[in-house]
């Protein structure tokens, strides 16, 4: 059986990768993916703690966080796509291509 501390260590590593990703990457999509890494490291920590503490609460929270993350993806990608569309508005055929 894998000790909970390993999962926690992994979650800390993933969280750090996420934070560094947000700080050093310049592509909005990649930054956004790094943020998702941060959220998922939180999920991993929740599950690890839930197992360590023998309580179900932590696992239920993960569902909520996943839902929130999905909503965030929808909103975030919409914002990025809209900005992309505006920035390229000089090229008419590309506007046609991106019409949603």
Partner 1 sequence: MSGVPFLLPVDWWALGAVIALSGGAMALLLLEFLPHGPESNRAALVSLVTLLAAGASVFVVRDSRRALFDGMFVHDGITVFFTFLFCAIGILSVLLSWDYVKRTRINRTEYYALLLSSTLGMVIMAGSNDLITVFLGLELMSLALYVLVGFRRSHLESNEASLKYFLLGAFASGFLLYGIALLYGATGTTNLQKMTAVMSDSPMLENPLFVVGALLLVVGLGFKVSAVPFHMWTPDAYEGAPTSVTAFMSAGAKAAGFAALVRVGLSTLGAVRTDWVPVLSAIAILTMTVGNVTALLQNNVKRMLAYSSIAHAGYVLVAIVAGGRDGASAALFYLAVYSLMNLGAFGILTLLGRGTEERVLVSDLAGLGFRHPGLGIAMTVFMLALGGIPPTAGFMAKVYVFGVALKAGLVPLVIIGVLNSVVSVFYYLRITVAMYMEEPQAEPTHVSWAVPGALAVLAAVALTLWWGVQAHALLDQAQRSVLGGM
Partner 2 sequence: MREYLPVLVFAAVAVLFAVSTIGVSTIIVPRRSSARKMAPYECGVEPVGDARQRFEIKFYLVAVLFILFDIEAVFLYPWAVAFRQLGLYGLVEMGLFILVLVVGYLYLLFKRAFDWN
- Regarding 63 and contact with partner 2 (CB under 8 A), the answer is yes
Q: Is residue 17 at the binding interface for partner 1, with CB under 8 A as the rule?
A: no
The owner of tokens 């975030």 is 76
CA distance linking residue 67 with residue 39, whole number of Å? 11
Q: Which is nearer to partner 2, 12 or 60 (CB)?
A: 60
Structure tokens at 7: 């999962």
Q: Cβ of 11: how many Cβ atoms within 10 Å?
A: 20
Tokens 């930054």 found at: 31
**Piece of 2-10, 26-34, 36-44, 71-79 that binds partner 2 (CB under 8 A):** 71-79
Using rule CB under 8 A, residue 20 touches partner 2: no
Q: Which of 77, 79, 89, 91 binds partner 2 (CB under 8 A)?
A: 77
For the four alpha carbons of 42, 48, 51 and 53, in that order, the dihedral sign comes to negative
Binds partner 1 (CB under 8 A): choice among 13, 79, 95, 98: 79
- Other beta carbons within 10 Å of 19: 15
Binding residues (CB under 8 A) for partner 2: these are: 60, 63, 66-67, 70-71, 73-74, 77-78, 81, 97-100
């Amino acid at each position: 059986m894998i000790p909970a501390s390993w999962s926690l260590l992994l979650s800390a590593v993933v969280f750090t990768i996420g934070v560094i990703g947000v700080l050093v990457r310049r592509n909005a999509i990649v930054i956004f993916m790094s943020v998702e890494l941060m959220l998922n490291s939180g999920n991993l920590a929740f599950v690890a703690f839930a197992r360590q503490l023998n309580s179900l609460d932590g696992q239920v929270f993960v569902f909520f966080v996943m839902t929130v993350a999905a909503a965030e993806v929808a909103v975030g990608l919409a914002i990025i796509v809209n900005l992309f569309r505006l920035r390229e508005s000089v090229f008419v055929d590309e506007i046609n291509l991106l019409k949603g």
